[in-house]
Amino acid sequence: MESIEGEPGDFKVTLTSYPRYIDPIKCTGCGECAKRCPVTAINMYNLGLDDRKATYIEYPQAVPLAFAIDIDTCIGCGLCEMMCLAKAINYEDNEKKSTICVGAVILSPGSEGFDPSGMDVLGYGKFANVVTSEEFERILSASGPYRGHLMRTLDREAPKKIAWIQCVGSRDVNLCGNGYCSSVCCMYAVKEAMIAKEHSHDDLDCAIFNMDIRSFGKDYEKYYNRAKDEHGVRFIKSRVHTINEDSTTGDLVIRYTDESGQTNEETFSMVVLSVGLQIPESVTALARRLDIELNNYNFAVTDPFAPVNSSRPGIFVSGVFQGPKDIPGSVTEASAAACAAGTKLAEARGTDTKTIEIPAEIDVLETETRIGVFVCNCGINIAGVVDVPAVADYAATLPYVVFVDQNLFTCSQDTQDKMKEVIKENNLNRVVVASCTPRTHEPLFQETLQACGLNKYLFEMANIRDQDSWVHANDPEAATEKAKDLVRMAVARAGLLKPLKEKKISINRRALVIGGGVAGMNAALGLADQGFDVVIVEKEAQLGGLSRDLTVTIEGADIQRYLLELVDRVTGHEKIQVLTESLIVGFSGFKGNFTTEIMVGPGMYERKIDHGVVILATGANEYKPEEYLYGQDYRVVTQIELGKRLEVKGADDISKVVMIQCVGSRNEKNQNCSRVCCQSAVKNALHIKEFNPDAEIYILYRDMRMYGLLEDYYTEARQQGIIFSRFSQDNPPNVEATDEGIAVTFKDHILQRDISITADLLALSAGMVAEDTEELASILKLPRNEEGYFIEAHVKLRPVDLANEGVFLCGTAHSPKLISEAISQALAAASRATIFLSQSEITLSAVTARVDPDLCAACLVCVRACPYEVPRINEEGVSEIDVALCHGCGICAAECPAKAIELDWYEDDQVMSKVEALLEGVL
């Protein structure tokens, strides 16, 4: 991206496209070019640990899945051009400039791993068996240089002991200037250790050298505990001095200082440097060109209450460019940025959409079965191995086959046009394509069927490329026989296929947001600003939720002022209806068409609301401690109470304060970390120091989890003389009330002795507890974890969706989080809901389960087996499956003891016909 000119809503973006030398549109991804390429180059995808060709594809999952030529290593031999049947090679390709007009821009340029080459003491680059965590990821990967076998780089020996060194390139102002915490390294190190143990054939010893373990994400603490307690990963609180190599064995000796200040040495067969995230120079240059403000670490500057807005209006940011974060956080933020951008573009939605006209369907049930088989050469991808003409001839001999053809590329536009003609001319009513994988090409061929008036489910594919020519290249004869088998199987199933009707359901384009806190209100605005009606249900009399008790963010932003503005915007919005003092008592329907019954107001009158989606924003509260004299002595307060007190009374009257972390978190009752309490403590401590610089403040902690840019405040707190002392879970501080104050006794891990402080005030960093949603969850049938937080559909891939379609999640109902994170997630949920609401109707898959009521014994097996609780026993006393809710997995069909359930398109006969065709004549 060269430049962005213009105003929000009307940007002109200038782009430079670098030459690929292979046309990605023509390239079929067949890979012949790379196979023939004589030049070997270093494979940077595997971080230089193995080789690739000069003609290459970066990695198997790349999009587009098209090859390119690495012109720096290409010798111009011309072999690839000769090989390419798709004629995609263009040595004359050159740099192109283009301009596009857009209304908003989202910047997600990402980050790079810190390069530890400059840190001499760690020996990276000097000792072969010291690798970065990125390299180690590749080593563990099945697509990596060692194909997933755990080996060290020096001698390809299996390591017996591996050490991870944390905070390389993070939390370190002296050596690299990166004062922030990279937020992800603790978790990936734990993960790498666990996977390494899994991959190892011996009893691999894994040790993680760290200052703090920052497993602050949802359920991360449980993972950390499992690694520690069940899998024996060792966690060593330490600072590493130097790493030296034993030159005879290649082993590495780590010299480190432990918590008590003692220096120790331990030898490992391999060392992994957990490198931090860093903004690359190319990205800072881009930001400069675009006039985006960066902070001192080169992350984009954002406002705590507008976390995805860059300094330049109309340009939004997401991912690590916004600040260090993990994949769930990045994916969430990406959706948030999409919502923020979409708000401004809502008017334009759908204006460029083209609709395909589909002719009326031909009735095929009454006519004789006429199957057409199209065998694809896929250039030479298939034909180079499989004898395609022989397969085609064979196909012609199969029952019901009335037409056979072979094509160079079946997927090409001209072949598709030809196919349409052929289908019509020959009155084909079932079509088999023998080519590549249905995963990528089934929809294309199905469209062709539809264009001919055939139901799209009258189609079957035989994968004679991925499952045949590609994997049996060295045995063409056997591959040809296998292709015949696959075609015979496909034809057999095709003969039994029935047209299926895809149900279309209209969508009620209104959203219900449950919970009127900061997250709920932001989600509501995210949708309302895009033109959708929203109803917010809040059980309290006022909007605001937990944030009504909060004062300022750690950055100093005024939460109450923000809340006031937010409530004004919400209540003043013509698309938003707010129901306070309201309780959800009933819920029914399915994605796009829900009905919720609500008891509204003090009068408890009942209302029924129809809506298409649900956003859960039920929130969380501060834990009410039962520990440390809380509630028994007025001098013991929680951090939120302390925050309020500072707001009202300041801190002139307090000179000694002790804070205890992890109260109500990371214990047996609540295994998880509450994420926000470390920063609450530091925030309040710094405030006290502002009021009263002489105040003595002690923060007793287990791990300081000042992730991301919060680390700066931790550094500042230490510089201001705030004392941090670690305690272990089995030896917590002892608290006693005396007339002089609250006496707190704790063991100092450096001095190795007990210290007693008599404080004016004891602040407990009480964790978060999810709002009580037990009843709500049972009404809406939503899954929650042990701690009462709702469970998302997929931690990384669908972080704000629930498995129940049409239901989304944000804020602290998901897990504890900061206000800016809750806002981000709220926008993300709104964005995901928008995808749903922006359609007027949705087409449901026809692959759903169906009950034969005559056979059903009402045994409840399907009811109990369905992962989505879809089947129910109806008024007639038999099982009934709502196609709108069915996910099509077929579990019920397999489990049914009365064989009363069939999964359409995978009926038992259809599945077994393939088995029977395959094994025809064997017995």
Partner 1 sequence: MIVAEKKPVEEIIDYVKDFKKLLIAGCNECVTVCEAGGKKEVGILASALRMYFLNEGKKVEIDEVTLERQCDHEYLEEIRDRIDKYDAVLSLACGVGVQFMAEKYFSTPVFPGVNTCFLGAAEERGVWSERCQACGQCILGETAGICPISRCAKRLLNGPCGGSTKGKCEINKDLDCAWQLIIDRLKELNRLDDYEKIMPIKDWSTERAGGPRKVVREDVRL
Partner 2 sequence: MRINYPGTIRIIRLPCTGKVDVIHILRAFEKGADGVYVVGCLEGECRFSNGNLRAKKRIEQAQQILDAIGIGGERAQMYNLSSADGPRFAEYAVEMTEKIKKLGPNPLKKAKEKMAA
User: Should residue 803 be labelled a site residue for partner 2 when binding is judged by CB under 8 A?
Assistant: yes
- What's the min distance (Å) between Cβ of 32 and partner 2? 11
* Stretch near partner 2 under the rule CB under 8 A, chosen from 81-89, 106-114, 423-431, 471-479: 471-479
Query: Could you tell me which stretch among 246-254, 552-560, 597-605, 911-919 binds partner 2 (CB under 8 A)?
Result: 911-919
Q: Does 58 bind partner 2 (CB under 8 A)?
A: no
Q: How far is the CB of 900 from partner 1 (least distance, A)?
A: 8
The piece of 146-154, 474-482, 600-608, 850-858 that touches partner 1 (CB under 8 A) is: 850-858
* Binds 389: which of partner 2, partner 1, none (CB < 5-8 Å by kind): none
**Could you tell me which stretch among 312-320, 350-358, 566-574, 889-897 binds partner 2 (CB under 8 A)?**
889-897
d(CA 828, CA 335): 4
Q: Strand 401-407 relative to strand 430-435: parallel, antiparallel, unpaired?
A: unpaired
Among 19, 29, 110, 148, which residue interacts with partner 2 (rule: CB under 8 A)?
148
- Out of 173, 855, 915, 919, the only residue in the binding site for partner 1 (CB under 8 A) is 855
In angstroms, the CA 211 to CA 238 distance is 6
3-state class (DSSP) for residue 318:
coil
Q: Report the partner that residue 596 touches, choosing among partner 2, partner 1, none (CB closer than 5 to 8 A by kind).
A: none
- Identify which of residues 860 and 912 has a Cβ nearer to partner 2 in the complex: 912
860 binds, among partner 2, partner 1, none (CB under 5 to 8 A by kind): partner 1
Establish if 470 lies at the interface with partner 2 (CB under 8 A).
yes
**Interface pattern 294-313 for partner 2 (x via CB under 8 A):** --------------------
Cβ 485 to partner 2, closest distance in Å?
6
Virtual CA dihedral for 405, 411, 412, 416, nearest 10 degrees? Answer: 60
In the stretch 896-915, what mask flags binding to partner 1 with x, by CB under 8 A? xxxxx---------------
The site partner of 79 among partner 1, partner 2, none (C-beta below 5 to 8 Å per kind) is none
Is 463 an interacting residue with respect to partner 2 (CB under 8 A)?
A: yes
Partner whose footprint covers residue 486, from partner 1, partner 2, none (CB < 5 to 8 Å by kind): partner 2
Choose the one of partner 2, partner 1, none that binds residue 467, judging by a C-beta under 5 to 8 angstroms depending on kind: partner 2
Query: Shortest Cβ distance from residue 787 to partner 1 (Å)?
Result: 24
911 sits near partner 2 (criterion: CB under 8 A): yes
DSSP lists the bridge partners of residue 862 as none
* CA 113 distance to own-chain centroid: 19
Task: List the interface residues with partner 1, window 857-896 (CB under 8 A).
Answer: 857-861, 864-865, 896
Is 156 a binding residue for partner 2 by CB under 8 A? The answer is no
- CA distance readout (Å), 643 to 514, 553, 691: 28, 10, 13
Which one of partner 1, partner 2, none interacts with residue 542, CB within 5 to 8 A by kind? none
Interaction partner, residue 589 (partner 1, partner 2, none; CB < 5-8 Å by kind)? none
Before 313, cis peptide (omega within 30)?
Answer: no
Helix (H) or strand (E) holding 315: strand 315-317
Distances (CA, A) of 405 to 402, 409, 453, 487: 10, 12, 20, 13
DSSP result, 829-848: HHHHHHHHHTSSEEEPPS--
Q: Which of residues 474-493 bind partner 2 (CB under 8 A)?
A: 474-475, 478-479, 482, 485-486, 489
In a 13 Å sphere around the CA of 83, the CA atoms on its Cβ side amount to 20
Query: Taking every pair of C-alpha atoms in the chain, what is the biggest distance, in angstroms?
Result: 100
In the complex, least distance from residue 901 CB atom to partner 1, rounded to whole angstroms: 10
Q: Does 918 bind partner 2 (CB under 8 A)?
A: yes
Stretch that binds partner 2, among 366-374, 422-430, 467-475, 767-775 (CB under 8 A): 467-475
Size of interface with partner 2, in residues (CB under 8 A): 46
**Sign (positive or negative) of CA dihedral 628, 631, 636, 637:** positive
Point out which residues pair with 903 in neighbouring strands: 849
Residues in the interface with partner 1 (CB under 8 A) total: 14
Report the run of H or E that residue 222 belongs to, with start and end.
helix 220-225
- Residue 890 Cβ, how far from partner 2 at the closest point, in Å? 3
910-918 contacts at long range (C-beta below 8 A, 24 or more positions apart)? 910/493, 910/496, 910/497, 911/493, 913/489, 913/492, 913/493, 913/495, 913/496, 914/489, 914/490, 914/492, 914/493, 916/492, 917/488, 917/489, 917/491, 917/492, 917/493, 918/485, 918/488, 918/489
Q: Which of residues 367-426 bind partner 2 (CB under 8 A)?
A: none
Least spacing, CB of residue 489 vs partner 1, in Å:
20
Residue 857 partner contact from partner 1, partner 2, none using kind-dependent CB cut-offs of 5 to 8 Å: partner 1
742-761 residues in contact with partner 1 (CB under 8 A) are none
Tell me whether residue 360 or residue 923 sits nearer to partner 2 (CB atom): 923
Binding of partner 2 at residue 865 (CB under 8 A)? yes
Where would I find the H helices in 10-66?
Answer: 32-36
Shortest CB 341 distance to partner 2, Å: 30
| Smaller CB separation from partner 1, 1 or 919 | 919
Considering the complex, state which of residue 635 and residue 872 has its C-beta at the smaller distance from partner 1: 872
Q: Which is nearer to partner 2, 202 or 909 (CB)?
A: 909
- Binding partner selected for residue 61 from partner 1, partner 2, none, CB under the kind-specific 5 to 8 Å limit: partner 2
Q: Which residues contact 509 (CB under 8 A, 6 or more apart)?
A: 532, 533, 612, 837, 840
Extract the tokens encoding 10. 């009307």
> Is the Cβ–Cβ distance between 828 and 342 less than 8 Å?
no
Q: Work out how close the CB of 270 gets to partner 2 at its nearest, in angstroms, rounded to a whole number.
A: 22
- The option from partner 2, partner 1, none interacting with 690 (CB < 5 to 8 A, set by class) reads none
Exposure on the CB side of residue 350, measured as CA atoms within 13 A: 10
Cα angle value 408/411/415 (rounded, 5°): 65
Decide if residue 472 touches partner 2 (CB under 8 A): yes
Instruction: Give the 3-state DSSP-derived string for 423-453, with helices as H, strands as E and coil as C.
Output: HHHCCCCEEEEEECCHHHHHHHHHHHHHHCC
Cα 391 from Cα 485, distance rounded (Å): 9
Q: β-strands 605-611, 768-770: how paired?
A: unpaired
What are residue 663's phi and psi, to 5 degrees? -85, 115
Q: Do residues 339 and 828 make contact, with C-beta atoms less than 8 angstroms apart? A: yes
DSSP3 helix / strand / coil % (the chain, rounded to 5): 30, 25, 45
What is the nearest approach in angstroms of partner 2 to the Cβ of residue 392? 19
Which stretches within 165-218 are classed as H helix? 185-199
Quote the CA–CA distance of 302 and 323 in Å, as a whole number: 9
CB of 3 or CB of 845, closer to partner 2? 845
The amino acid at 444: L
3-class secondary structure, 806 = coil
Stretch that binds partner 1, among 236-244, 412-420, 680-688, 853-861 (CB under 8 A): 853-861
Select from partner 1, partner 2, none the partner in contact with residue 864, using the beta carbon and a kind-dependent cut-off of 5 to 8 Å: partner 1
Q: Which of 15, 358, 564, 915 binds partner 2 (CB under 8 A)?
A: 915
Regarding 847 and contact with partner 2 (CB under 8 A), the answer is yes
- 8 A C-beta contact, residue 684 and residue 691: no
List residues near partner 1 by CB under 8 A: 855, 857-861, 864-865, 896-900, 923
List residues near partner 2 by CB under 8 A: 31, 60-61, 142-143, 147-148, 438, 463, 467, 470-475, 478-479, 482, 485-486, 489, 803, 847, 865, 867, 887-891, 893-895, 903, 906, 908, 911-912, 914-916, 918-919, 922-923
